[in-house]
Amino acid sequence: MSTESGKSAWEQRLHETGARVEDDLRELVRYFNDEVVPEVRKSGSEALRAAAKHLNSIAERMDERAGRTPPRRPEGTPRP
């Protein structure tokens, strides 16, 4: 009988630990979705805008060195 009671106590502890891990994972996913993802999206868009400015500058220098006139910007398009 002691083997069975030891086994069920071990199984109970394992079950409780699994439940706590599941709760912690749910909390981690919630935090990640609510806090991390929006910040990455914000920072990601800022990084893309900075890269676009830099690439545009490089393209303009390439055009100047090749003696070409850069393509015209559509009206209302801000200059970087």
Task: Write the burial class of residue 56 (CB in 10 Å: 0-12 exposed, 13-18 middle, 19+ buried).
Answer: middle
Q: What local confidence, expressed as pLDDT, does residue 5 receive? A: 61
Averages of pLDDT over each 10 residues, the chain, 80 residues: 67 92 92 88 84 89 86 66
Q: Write out the E strands in 1-80.
A: none
Classify each residue of 10-39 as buried b or exposed e, where b means 16 or more C-beta atoms within 10 Å of its C-beta: eeeeeeeeeeeeeeeeeeeeeeeeeeeeee
State if pTM tops 0.85: no
* pLDDT at position 4: 57
pLDDT of 1 reads: 46
